[in-house]
Amino acid sequence: MVTIGIQFLYGLGALGLAIYGAQALWLSSRFLRSSTQESPVSPCPEPEHWPRVTVQLPIFNEQYVIERLIDACAQLNYPADRLQIQVLDDSTDETTAIVQQRAAWWRQQGIEVDLLHRTARTGYKAGALADALPHATGDFIAIFDADFVPPADFLKRTVSVFLRPHHRDVGFVQARWGHLNADYSVITRSQALALDGHFVVEQSARQAEGYPFGFNGSAGVWRRSCIEDRLVGGWHIDTLCEDLDLSYRAQLAGWQPLYLPQVEAPAEIPPQLLAFKRQQFRWAKGSVQTLKKLFRQVWRSDWRLAARLAATVHLGNYLIHPLLLLLLLVTLPLLILGIDPFWPLTYLSLVSLGPPLLYAIAQKRLHPRDWPRRWAYLPVLTLLGTGLCLNNSIAVWQALTNRETPFLRTPKFQVRVTEDRWQRSAYVLALEPLVLGELLLCLYACATIVVAILQQNWWTIPFLLIYAFGFGYMVAAGLWQAWTAGRRGEPETEDPSSTQKVQSRFSAVDFVKSRGR
C-alpha cells in the first residue's frame, strides 16, 4: 500500500510538470503562428485633446532610485496640464525627504508632483493605491514601481490606444518590461532570460488566443472607470498579487486587456540572490492566493472551456515548485523499494522541451544577432528555478493554508554596470535560515544519487544532478554574496541616514533638453 502511494505521488508530480511543459510548448507554437505577434495595435494619430492621466508611484524605502523614477515620470512627453504624478510613499527612512525635495523642484518647473505619505502600511501596495485613487484627477491611471525608468513616449503610446472607438471596453494596457542591468551578473542575465520568455512569448500568445492574462503591477495603464466599476471592486488587499487579482476580476466583469509588446519600459533586475528569492516568494504566494480566491468565479464565468483551463494553469503556475520538490523527496524511497522512478518521465520527455524552446524564441525575437549568447544562460536559469523549490513551496503552502505574512518589498540598489556595488547598500538583505533547508535538500539529492549509482539506475542520475546543483547553487551563491557584503544587512524599518546618500543626477539643462512638449 505504501509503495502504491509513493508511486502515485511520483506520477502526480511528473504529470503536473508535464502540464506546465505542454503549456510552454503550446504558447510557443501559438506565438509563432500568430500574425499579430509583432504589433497587435497599429500606431494611431494623436488626439486633439489628450485625456488627463495620473501617474502613481507606490514606494517604500527607495532612497537609491526614487529620484531617477520621479525625474523619468516628470519628463514624460505628455501635456503638463493633463498630467498628475502621485508619489505614494510609505517610507520610514530618508526616502520621504528626497521625495519632498524632488517634488518641490518639479512643481517649480510646472509639473504637478504630489506626495501622499502614509505612516501605516495598511494593505501595503494595494492599500496605498486604493487610498490614493480618490485624490487622483486622471481618467487613466499609470503605475510604475520604483525600479522602472519609463521612456518619454510611454504615455502617448499607451493612452492613445484607449481612445480608439473599438477599444472602449479595454480596461488596462500592459507594456513589456525591459532591463536596465541584464548584463550585470550571471544572476541578472538568468532573470532577464525568464522575464523575456514571459513578456515576449507568453503574454503575446495569450492575447493572440483571446485568453485572459494578468497586469504585471508596473509599466501599465488602467482606465479609471474599470478600477471603480462596481463589478470589479477596485484594489483589494487580501492577496500579495493585487495586480493579478484586479486584472482577473476586471476580465471576469467583461473588461478587455491589451498587451503592447512593442512598448518597452526598462527596470532594474535584483542583483542580490536573496532579493530575487523574496520577489519570487511574494509572486508565488500571491498567485496561489489569487487562484484560491477566483477559482470558482473563473469556472462559473461564460468564458469558453479552453480559456478557463488556460486561466487556471496561468494562476497556478507556481505550483510547479511543490511538484518539483515532491519528485525529489519520493525518488529516494522509490529507489530503496527497487522501483525505477525514471519510467514516468520517459513518456513526458517531449514536453520538457517546452521551456527551453520558449526562451529561445523570445531571445531570437528580441536579439536576432546574438540570441545564442543570451540563451546560453539557460542552465543557470534551470538551476535557479530548481533551487527555488523550497522557497516557493513554502510560499505556496502559506497561501493554501491562509497564513498571513507581510508584504516584503524587493530592495532596489541602482546598479547598472558591474562596477556598481550593491553590497554596502542600506537595503542589503541578511542571510536567512532557509539556506539550511536548501543545504539539507542538496545533501538529500546527493544521497539519492549515491543510491542510484549503487543500483546502476543511470537514467535517474542526470535528473537528480539538477536538484543537487540547483540547491547547491542557492547555498553557495547566497553564502558568497553574504560574505562579499561583509554585513548582515539592516531591518527595513531602520533609518539608513548614516549610510550612502543619494545625490541628484539631474540638471536644469537636462530638463530643458528632454521636455519636448
Question: Does residue 517 carry a pLDDT above 80?
Answer: no
Q: Which of 255-259, 424-428, 469-473 has the lowest mean pLDDT?
A: 424-428
pLDDT digits over 400-446, tens only?
A: 999 988 888 899 999 988 888 898 889 999 999 999 999 999 999 99
Contact status, residue 378 vs residue 466, Cβ threshold 8 Å: no
- The pLDDT, as a whole number, for residue 510 is 36
Mean pLDDT rounded to a whole number for the chain: 89
Residues 6+ apart with CB under 8 A from 60: 89, 90, 91, 92, 95, 121, 124, 409, 492
Closest C-alpha among 434, 471, 433, 480 to residue 449: 471
Run of H or E including 85: strand 83-89
| Mean pLDDT along residues 183-210 | 96
Give per-residue burial for 364-390: e unless 16+ CB within 10 Å, then b. Answer: ebbeeeebeebbebbebbbbbbbbbbb
Three cell numbers at 57? 508611484
Which residue bears the cell 525627504? 97
CATH of domain 52-271: 3.90.550.10
Question: Does residue 503 carry a pLDDT above 60?
Answer: no
- The pLDDT, as a whole number, for residue 176 is 98
Three cell numbers at 118? 502614509
Question: What percent of the chain clears pLDDT 90, i.e. is strictly above it?
Answer: 75
Highest mean pLDDT among 175-184, 479-488, 495-504 belongs to 175-184
Calculate ∠ Cα 286-198-358, nearest 5°: 135
- The pLDDT, as a whole number, for residue 83 is 98
Three cell numbers at 196? 523575456
| Mean pLDDT along residues 111-137 | 96
Residues 6+ apart with CB under 8 A from 1: none
DSSP state for residue 134 in the 8-state scheme: G
DSSP letters for 259-286? EEEEEEEEEPPP-SHHHHHHHHHHHHHH
Choice between 353 and 192, residue whose per-residue pLDDT is larger: 192
Contact status, residue 50 vs residue 159, Cβ threshold 8 Å: yes
This prediction has a pTM of 0.90
Point out the residues that are catalytic.
Answer: 90, 243
- The pLDDT, as a whole number, for residue 341 is 65
Distance CA 403, CA 285 (A): 10
> What burial class does residue 232 get, using C-beta atoms within 10 Å of its C-beta: 0-12 exposed, 13-18 middle, 19+ buried?
buried
pLDDT digits over 46-73, tens only?
A: 787 899 999 999 999 999 999 999 999 9
Contact status, residue 171 vs residue 257, Cβ threshold 8 Å: yes
Distance CA 201, CA 350 (A): 19
pLDDT digits over 347-366, tens only?
A: 566 677 889 999 999 999 99
Domain edges within the chain? 2-31+316-498, 52-271
Contact status, residue 103 vs residue 113, Cβ threshold 8 Å: yes
Tell me the Cα Rg of the chain. 23
Q: List the strands of the sheet with 112-117, edge to edge.
A: 112-117, 83-89, 53-59, 140-143, 220-223, 170-179, 256-267
| Mean pLDDT along residues 30-50 | 70
Question: Does residue 77 carry a pLDDT above 80?
Answer: yes
Run of H or E including 55: strand 53-59
